[in-house]
Amino acid sequence: MNWVSLAARFTRNNRGFIIFILVFGVFRTAVADWNPIPSGSMRPTLLEGDVVLVNRLAFNLKVPLTNVVVARLGEPHRGDVVTFFSPRDGTRLIKRLVAVPGDTVEMRNKMLIVNGRRATYAPIGTAREELAPGIETEALRLDERTDARDHVVQWLGRSDERDNFGPVAVPSDRYLMLGDNRDNSADSRYFGLVPRELIIGRAVLILASADINGRWTPRFERFGERLN
């Protein structure tokens, strides 16, 4: 029996399963998806080992498996946590959207300024942050309040060129993204503004979570936690 016959038999005997896989694949690439968190760039909002649910229809309807936008379904807003493809190398990332088209954004000594209004920062505590295996530093966590909304960000207490940029005028269909872990995030300060067609969707909630450094122990208290 040749390979063609074997393939035909397999398809005939597993038609329902094959259809399910195809429909599921289209659903995941066009409607809803999940995104594992591999790094600490969004600490403390998202932790390594979190798995977030992503609404792919929040902003755009795309041709499955492409970045071709068929229709606009909604507008990204400041403060949204979004997934997108890096304009530099195509890597799938998750960050917080901090500036939309028409905004003028800058940063001075770590402090975000959007349209001339400086965010306010209220310290809420400290935490130990692992920079590399066996290397830790103290992180300061602050409530960052802007016109959009407030959320917790993290500073590691060191200064570098990323602490100051702009002002940047955001053009049409471009967005500026930052990680909540401001001193440990490769974001728009590295790869620039993100075109709208590269945005995948809005992260809605944490589906599940496990401590990757603690034998993958489930963090049940994070299950179902809503974002934004």
Residue 225 scores a pLDDT above 50: yes
| Amino acid found at 186 | A
pLDDT digit string, tens, across residues 30-74: 455 788 998 999 999 999 999 999 999 999 988 887 889 999 999
pLDDT digit string, tens, across residues 90-109: 999 999 999 999 999 999 99
The reported pLDDT for the residue numbered 219 is 94
The reported pLDDT for the residue numbered 134 is 78
Angle (CA) 100 39 111, round 5° = 45
The reported pLDDT for the residue numbered 41 is 94
**What is the pTM for the complete model shown?**
0.85
